[in-house]
A and B are shown apart, each in its own frame.
Chain A
C-alpha cells in the first residue's frame, strides 16, 4: 500500500477533489451537542465537515442498502408491465470509521458473495469510494461504547477502504487501499511520506488501543465457542430476552444487519411499486406465517436468533467475519442494556460457570 502526507489545512481538499470527479460526497456533521449525522457535502456546508466527532448513530449502511428502496415499478392496464428500477449513484463516503468500513465489507460478502448476487446492492456499491478515518482522538472519536479492539475491526482498518486518513497532528497520513485511491495521489496536496511518519502512525495506534474505556468488554472467542456448540442455557437466553423491549433499535443502527422485508404499494390508479425496507428480527411478526403460526413466538427466541446469527461459528466461517464490527451503536440505543458486549459478557459468565 502506498502512503502519502497531507497537511492538516489541505485535508478537506480531498472532498473537493472527489466532488470535482463527480462523486456525491457524504461526510459526518455535527447536529447539536453529541448528536452527529452523515450528510451530503454542498458548497455551503463543506467547511462544517467534522473529522473528529462521535460516530453518528445512524450508520452509513443506508448508502448501500437504503432504508426504503424501490425494486420494481409495475404498470397495469389489462396487462402487467414490470420494470426494475435501478439507482446507480457515484458516491464517496468521507471520514467513515474503521468499524463502518468493516460493516460495508461484511455486507459485500453477504449480498454479493453467495450463489445469488443482489443487483440493487451491487449498483449502490459499484461506484462507492470509501475514505476511512482512523480513530485517534480518545475524547471525541472513541465513545464509551466502542469495542472494535475486541472484534478486530479497529481502530485502524487494515483493508477494504479506498483511502485511509490518520491524524498525526499537523499532518494526516494517507494510505491508498485500492487503485482508485492511488490515483488521487497524483494531486499536489499529497507529499511523500517518510519512515518517520510510518513510525509515528504505529506509536499513535499503540497509544490509541490503550485509550478504549473498557478494553476487555467483550471476550468474543469464549462466547462464539459456547454459542456454536449450543452450550448456552435456555435460562441465559431468557434473562437476555426479558430485558429486550422489542423496539428493533439494535438492528436498525447495526452496520452489519442485513434483513429486509418487501412490500407493495400503490403509486397511482394503475401503478404499483414494490419496495424493500429494513426489517428487524426483534419484532414479533418477523417469522409469523400467514396461518398465524410463529416459530419464534417468545422474545428470547428472537434475541437468541440475533446473537446466534452474528456469533455462530458456522456463519463466521461462511462470511469470513463476525456480523459484529464493534461500533457500539447497539449499546448506545438499547434501553434494556443488552447491547453486544453485555450479551457476550453475560453468556461468557453464565455458560463458563456451568462448563466448569
Chain B
C-alpha cells in the first residue's frame, strides 16, 4: 500500500533546508476574532515578518499548522483559508488548554505559528472532474479551503456539490459563506440540520438524508468526494457513497490526531503504518481502510 503517493500526493511545498530548525515557530499577530458558533471562533492573523507570511502563503488545501501559545503549549490546526484568499486564519473550537489560551487572546496579541505541514491536496489533480463535498459540524473547517479553491478555479471543474449538516441551525459554520454558495450559479449547495428551530425552513435529518432528497442527484461518474465530520457521520456517509458507486480511491478525508511535532518525529500521531502529520492528514478511504488501526 502506498501512503503519501498516488492519488493523494506529496505537496510541492518547499522542504526546509537541512540546517533549518523545524521546531522553531515564528511570531504571529492576531488581527481580529470572529465568533462562528458556540465555542468556535475564527482567528485572523498574520506573521510579524512579511517574508514569513509570503512563504507560508504557499500552503495547499488540506495542510495544517502548529500554533504555539507560549507557556501553555502547541496544537495542530487545519487551515480553512484557500491559498487563493488574501487573509490567513484558523477556526478553532475551545476544547483543551491551548485552544482556551488562544480563545482568550485579543486583537494585537502575539502568538506563534509554524508550518504548513502535511501532504495536503493537489486540487490540480482533479481538474475536469466533479467535486462532491460532504461535511458535518466543524468538519467544514478543513473542507472550506478546498471549496474556496475550487470556486476560485470554477471553470476547471465540472459539477461542484456541497452537502453540509449540523446539529442545529445555530451550529452551522461559516454562515456568510454558506449563503454565498447557495446563491452561486453552478454550485449545488444543500444544507441540513438534525434538529430544526422555528426559523429553519430547510431539510431536517442527517447529512446522508440529503442524498435521497427529491431533486438531488449526487454526481457519481468521474467524481471525487471529500468527506469530513464526526466518526459516526463519516461511517454512514462512506457507506452511502460506496453504495452509490463512488470508488474507494476517489473518497478523500482528513484525519486528526494528538500531535507534538508535526514533522514525523514525536510518534504521537501514528495510525498503523502512517504518520498522520507527514503521510496525511489527507488520506483516501482506500488508504484509511488499510492503515491497520482504528481511526
A and B together in one complex:
yes
Task: Verify if A213 is at the interface (C-beta below 8 Å from B).
Answer: no
Known: A261-B268, A266-B71. A71 touches B23 (CB 8 A): yes
Smallest Cβ-Cβ distance to A312: which chain B residue: B273
Of the stretches B72-80, B140-148, B150-158, the one at the interface is B72-80
Q: Which residues of B contact A354 (CB under 8 A)?
A: none
Q: Which residues of A contact B24 (CB under 8 A)?
A: 72, 82, 84
Are B258 and A288 in contact (CB-based, < 8 A)? yes
Task: Verify if A305 is at the interface (C-beta below 8 Å from B).
Answer: yes
Q: Which residues of A contact B23 (CB under 8 A)?
A: 71-72, 84, 119-120, 274
Complex-state Cα separation, A316 to B99, whole angstroms = 37
Q: Which residues of B contact A120 (CB under 8 A)?
A: 21, 23
Task: Kindly name the residue among B27, B75, B295 whose own CB sees the greatest number of chain A CB atoms within 10 A.
Answer: B27
Of the stretches B11-19, B160-168, B206-214, the one at the interface is B11-19
Task: Write the A261-302 contact mask toward B (1 if CB under 8 angstroms, else 0).
Answer: 111101000001010100101000011111100011000010
Known: A115-B278, A263-B73, A295-B257. A290 touches B99 (CB 8 A): yes
Are B292 and A230 in contact (CB-based, < 8 A)? yes
Of the stretches A73-81, A147-155, A196-204, A239-247, the one at the interface is A73-81
B261 to chain A, nearest CB (A): 7
Task: Verify if A309 is at the interface (C-beta below 8 Å from B).
Answer: yes
Are B75 and A290 in contact (CB-based, < 8 A)? yes
Q: Which residues of A contact B267 (CB under 8 A)?
A: 258-260, 279, 281, 309
Q: Which residues of B contact A74 (CB under 8 A)?
A: 70
Are B72 and A260 in contact (CB-based, < 8 A)? no
Main secondary structure of the interface of A (DSSP, over half): mixed
Task: Verify if A87 is at the interface (C-beta below 8 Å from B).
Answer: no
Smallest Cβ-Cβ distance to B230: which chain A residue: A293
Are B20 and A119 in contact (CB-based, < 8 A)? yes
Task: Write the B12-40 contact mask toward A (1 if CB under 8 angstroms, else 0).
Answer: 00011011111111110000000000000
Known: A287-B268, A289-B258, A312-B273. A84 touches B21 (CB 8 A): yes
Are B264 and A115 in contact (CB-based, < 8 A)? yes
Are A279 and B268 in contact (CB-based, < 8 A)? yes
Q: Which residues of A contact B112 (CB under 8 A)?
A: 80, 82
Main secondary structure of the interface of B (DSSP, over half): loop
Among B22, B98, B265, B272, the residue within 8 A (CB) of A258 is B265
For A, the interface residue count at a CB cutoff of 8 angstroms equals 46
Complex-state Cα separation, A320 to B16, whole angstroms = 24
Task: Verify if B256 is at the interface (C-beta below 8 Å from A).
Answer: yes
Task: Verify if A214 is at the interface (C-beta below 8 Å from B).
Answer: no
Q: Which residues of A contact B75 (CB under 8 A)?
A: 290
Among A259, A262, A279, A301, the residue within 8 A (CB) of B73 is A262
Complex-state Cα separation, A281 to B268, whole angstroms = 8
Q: Which residues of B contact A79 (CB under 8 A)?
A: 27, 110
Task: Verify if A34 is at the interface (C-beta below 8 Å from B).
Answer: no
Among B20, B27, B258, B270, the residue within 8 A (CB) of A305 is B270
Complex-state Cα separation, A114 to B22, whole angstroms = 13
A161 to chain B, nearest CB (A): 24
Among A272, A290, A312, A314, the residue within 8 A (CB) of B70 is A272
- Which B residues, 256 to 289, have Cβ-Cβ distances below 8 Å to chain A? 256-258, 260-261, 263-268, 270-273, 278
Task: Write the B88-119 contact mask toward A (1 if CB under 8 angstroms, else 0).
Answer: 00000001111100000000001110000000
Cross-chain pairs A/B with CB under 8 angstroms, 15 sampled: A76-B70, A82-B24, A111-B265, A116-B264, A117-B22, A118-B265, A264-B71, A264-B74, A281-B267, A290-B97, A290-B98, A290-B99, A305-B270, A305-B293, A314-B273
Instruction: List 10 additional A-B contacts (Cβ < 8 Å) besides A82-B24, A295-B294.
Output: A80-B70, A116-B263, A117-B22, A264-B74, A287-B257, A287-B268, A289-B256, A290-B99, A295-B257, A309-B267
